[in-house]
C-alpha cells in the first residue's frame, strides 16, 4: 500500500522538476528554449501585401530552418491588433526571443513593456517604431528609408538637370503610418524642394499593393491634366500603376517617368524593359542576420542598437545585367 507521505513526496518532486524545466534554456534565462535546446523565436510578420514581403518571409523561414531555430511565425494580415495579439501569445508561450516588423510606427510601448517585464528580448526587423524608450527592444535591423527617398529624389533632380519647365509628380504612398511610407515621402520631398519646377500635384496611399496602386493611378490619370513623373514607394504599386498608364494609352517610362523602391524581380523586369526608369533597392533578405542577432541576444551578448542593411540603386541597363542572378 503506497503511503500518503510517499505520494506527496513524489508529486512535489515532479512539480519542482516541471517548474525548473520551464525556466529557460542553457543560460537559465526567461525563455522556454525548445524542448531539444533549440532557440525558440516568435516572429510577427506584417502580412503578404507585396513581392517584397513574400521574399522577406521566405528569407526568415529558410534562415530559421538552416540556423536550427524553432520559428513560431504569425501573419498579421496588415493589422496592428493582430501583431499585438501575436506578441502577447509569444510572451505566454515564453519564447526565448520575439522579433517583428511593425506594420505602423506608433502604438507599441504597452506590449513592448509587457515583453520587457517578462524578460523576453525583442528585435525589430524591417520597420521601426517611434517609442522613445529604446530599452524596449535590443536592436533594429532594416533599411534607411529616408535615404531611399533621397536617392529617388536625387535621380529625378539629375534627370531633369538644366530643364526649366514645370515637372508634375504624382506619388503613390505606402501604408499610412508605416515607417517606410513616412520616411520615403520625407526623403524624396527633402531633395526635390531645392528646385521649384518639381511639384507633387497628387499624393495618396496605394497600401503597398499592386491592386491599390492601379486604382489610385487611374484616379490620378483622370484628375490630373498633365503627369510627368510617378514616384511609388514600392515596386508593386508601380507595377499596378503601369497597368493603368498603359490602359490609358500612355507609355510608362516614356510619357510618364516612374521611380520605385524595392527591386523585386517583377520590378527589375519592368525596369529592364524601360517601363520603370529607376529603382532604389530595399533588401528583404534579413533572415540570416536576424537569426544571428537572435542567438546573440539570447546568449546575453551585446548587439548594436541599429543594424543597417546594404543596398544600392538600379538603372535599366544595370537591371538587364543582374536580372538573371537576382535572389528575389
Touching ligand GZL, residues 277-316 (CB under 6 A): 282
User: CB of residue 115 vs ligand GZL: minimum separation in angstroms?
Assistant: 21
Instruction: Rank residues 282 and 294 by Cβ distance to ligand GZL and give the closer one.
Output: 282
Which residue among 29, 40, 53, 253 contacts ligand GZL (CB under 6 A)? 53
Stretch that binds ligand GZL, among 21-29, 49-57, 65-73, 239-247 (CB under 6 A): 49-57
| Closer residue to ligand GZL, CB minimum distance, 55 or 297 | 55
Taking the complex as a whole, the smallest distance from the CB of residue 311 to ligand GZL amounts, in Å, to: 10
- Using CB under 6 A, which of 216, 261, 263, 276 touches ligand GZL? 261
Judged by CB under 6 A, the chain residues 152 through 181 that form the site for ligand GZL are 180
Cβ atoms 289, 307 nearer than 8 A: yes
Nearest to ligand GZL of 142, 240 (CB atom): 142
- Gyration radius (Cα) of the chain, Å: 24
272 close to 320: Cβ distance less than 8 angstroms: yes
Nearer to ligand GZL, 115 or 280 (CB): 280
State phi, psi for 145 to the nearest 5 degrees: -70, -30
Residues 6 or more apart whose CB falls under 8 angstroms from that of 42 comprise 72, 74, 86, 87, 89, 90, 93, 95, 97, 98, 99
Residue 52 sits in the site that holds ligand GZL (CB under 6 A): yes
Extended beta strands in the chain, E state? 40-45, 70-75, 97-100, 122-125, 139-142, 167-173, 198-205, 229-232, 257-262, 278-281, 306-308, 313-314
What is the spatial distance between Cα 170 and Cα 150, in angstroms, rounded to a whole number? 16
Q: Distance from CA of residue 174 to its chain's centroid?
A: 11
CB of 13 to ligand GZL, least distance (A): 50
Q: How far is the CB of 178 from ligand GZL (least distance, A)?
A: 7
- Nearer to ligand GZL (CB atom), residue 234 or residue 272: 234
Q: Which residues pair with 308 in a beta bridge?
A: 142
Work out the angle between the directed axes of helices 51-67 and 287-298 (0-180°, nearest 10): 50
Q: Helix/strand/coil (H, E, C) string of 304-322?
A: CCEEECCCCEECHHHHHHH
Query: From the CB of 113, what's the least distance to ligand GZL, in Å?
Result: 24
Q: Does 212 bind ligand GZL (CB under 6 A)?
A: no
Which residues would be at the binding site for ligand GZL (CB under 6 A)? 49-50, 52-53, 126-127, 142-143, 180, 208, 234, 236, 261-262, 282
Amino acid at each position: 500500500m503506497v503511503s500518503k507521505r510517499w505520494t506527496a513526496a513524489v508529486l512535489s518532486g515532479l512539480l519542482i522538476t516541471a517548474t525548473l524545466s520551464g525556466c529557460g534554456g542553457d543560460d537559465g534565462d526567461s525563455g522556454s528554449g525548445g524542448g531539444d535546446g533549440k532557440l525558440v523565436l516568435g516572429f510577427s510578420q506584417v502580412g503578404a501585401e507585396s513581392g517584397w514581403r513574400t521574399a522577406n518571409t521566405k528569407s526568415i523561414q529558410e534562415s530559421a530552418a538552416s540556423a536550427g531555430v524553432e520559428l513560431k511565425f504569425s501573419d498579421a494580415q496588415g493589422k496592428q491588433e493582430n501583431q499585438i495579439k501575436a506578441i502577447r501569445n509569444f510572451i505566454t508561450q515564453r519564447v526565448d526571443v520575439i522579433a517583428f516588423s511593425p506594420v505602423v510606427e506608433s502604438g507599441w510601448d504597452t506590449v513592448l513593456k509587457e515583453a520587457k517585464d517578462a524578460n523576453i528580448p525583442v528585435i525589430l526587423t524591417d520597420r521601426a517604431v517611434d517609442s522613445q524608450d529604446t530599452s524596449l527592444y535590443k536592436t533594429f535591423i532594416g533599411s534607411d528609408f529616408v535615404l531611399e527617398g533621397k536617392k529617388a529624389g536625387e535621380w529625378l533632380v539629375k534627370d531633369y538637370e538644366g530643364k526649366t519647365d514645370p515637372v508634375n509628380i504624382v506619388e503613390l504612398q505606402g501604408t499610412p503610418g508605416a515607417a517606410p511610407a513616412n520616411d520615403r515621402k520625407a526623403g524624396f520631398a527633402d531633395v526635390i524642394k531645392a528646385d521649384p519646377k518639381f511639384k507633387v500635384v497628387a499624393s495618396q496611399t496605394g497600401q503597398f499593393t499592386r491592386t491599390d496602386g492601379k486604382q489610385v493611378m487611374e484616379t490620378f490619370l483622370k484628375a490630373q491634366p498633365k503627369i510627368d513623373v510617378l514616384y511609388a514607394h514600392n515596386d508593386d504599386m508601380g507595377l499596378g500603376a503601369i497597368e493603368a498608364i498603359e490602359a490609358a494609352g500612355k507609355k510608362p517610362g516614356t510619357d510618364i517617368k516612374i521611380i520605385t523602391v524595392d527591386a523585386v524581380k517583377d520590378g527589375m523586369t519592368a525596369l529592364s524593359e524601360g517601363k520603370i526608369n529607376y529603382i532604389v533597392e530595399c533588401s528583404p533578405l534579413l533572415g540570416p542576420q536576424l537569426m544571428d542577432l537572435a542567438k546573440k541576444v539570447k546568449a546575453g551578448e551585446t548587439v548594436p542598437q541599429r543594424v543597417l542593411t546594404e543596398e544600392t540603386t538600379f538603372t535599366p541597363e544595370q537591371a538587364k545585367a543582374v536580372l538573371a542572378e537576382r535572389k528575389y
